[in-house]
Amino acid sequence: MIRIARDEDAAAIHAIYAPSIISGVATFETELPGVDAMRERLRARLQHYPWLVWEGAGEVLAYAYAGRFRERAAYDWIAETSIYVRADAQRRGIARRLYGVLLDVMRLQGITQAVGVITLPGTVSVTMHEAMGFTPAGVWRQCGYKLGQWWDVGVWQKELQPATIPPPAVTPFPALDAAALHALLG
């Protein structure tokens, strides 16, 4: 089941995210934020962007969210995406289905471009993004130092809908039509 993340999901989200901080490079964050901090991030993000979870047997198995790409107003129509899947839930197609719904919600908001930022080589993430229609948009060389080495980061981009002139304002996530959102979440 795909649904909107809730405050009570913070502990499960934190548990899914923690290995990427401690021993992985999917994120360049190096200090565990704590469950309360994760809950605050969730609340802040949901004020404008979607944060979705995949729930199975009453447990959060994965989460995906969108966020502001850059601070300048001219970037309002592009958003960065992230997805994390619990280790024991990987390789079941959850990531692609959850990510697909996230992209659909972003379209509903009026976002025109999605950007995936991937620590390279990131083979699994690159494969998933390209299967979802993302195309390579560039590489930031040796931009992150973690776990004793420098890492390159690749940027993948997907057009969600054609840009118009002038573009309509992006609809904040909480202001989306409830029926349309429900239809996307299933």
Q: How many other CB atoms are there within 10 angstroms of residue 143's CB atom?
A: 12
Does residue 132 have a pLDDT over 90? Answer: yes
Does residue 129 have a pLDDT over 90? Answer: yes
Pairwise CA distance, residues 83 & 95, whole Å: 7
Q: Tell which residue, 56, 45, 57, has the closest CA to residue 5.
A: 45
Does residue 1 have a pLDDT over 90? Answer: yes
Pairwise CA distance, residues 145 & 160, whole Å: 32
Does residue 186 have a pLDDT over 90? Answer: no
Pairwise CA distance, residues 102 & 87, whole Å: 20
Q: How many other CB atoms are there within 10 angstroms of residue 32's CB atom?
A: 13
Give residues with Cβ within 8 angstroms of 45, minimum separation 6: 51, 65, 67
**Mean pLDDT for the chain?**
96
Cα 43-171-59 angle, rounded to 5 deg? 40
**CB-based contact 48:40 (threshold 8 Å):** no
Helix axis angle, 35-46 to 10-22, nearest 10°: 110
Three-state SS string over 3-65 comes to EECCHHHHHHHHHHHHHHHHCCCCCCCCCCCCHHHHHHHHHHHHCCCCEEEEEECCEEEEEEE
Q: What pLDDT score does 135 carry?
A: 98
The model's pLDDT over 7-63, given as tens digits with 9 standing for 90+, comes to 999 999 999 999 999 999 999 999 999 999 999 999 999 999 999 999 999 999 999
Position 122 confidence tier, pLDDT thresholds 50, 70, 90: very high
Q: What pLDDT score does 30 carry?
A: 96
Q: How many other CB atoms are there within 10 angstroms of residue 109's CB atom?
A: 23
The model's pLDDT over 97-120, given as tens digits with 9 standing for 90+, comes to 999 999 999 999 999 999 999 999
Q: What pLDDT score does 88 carry?
A: 93
The model's pLDDT over 150-180, given as tens digits with 9 standing for 90+, comes to 999 999 999 999 999 999 999 999 999 999 9
The model's pLDDT over 78-100, given as tens digits with 9 standing for 90+, comes to 999 999 999 999 888 899 999 99
**CB-based contact 115:69 (threshold 8 Å):** yes
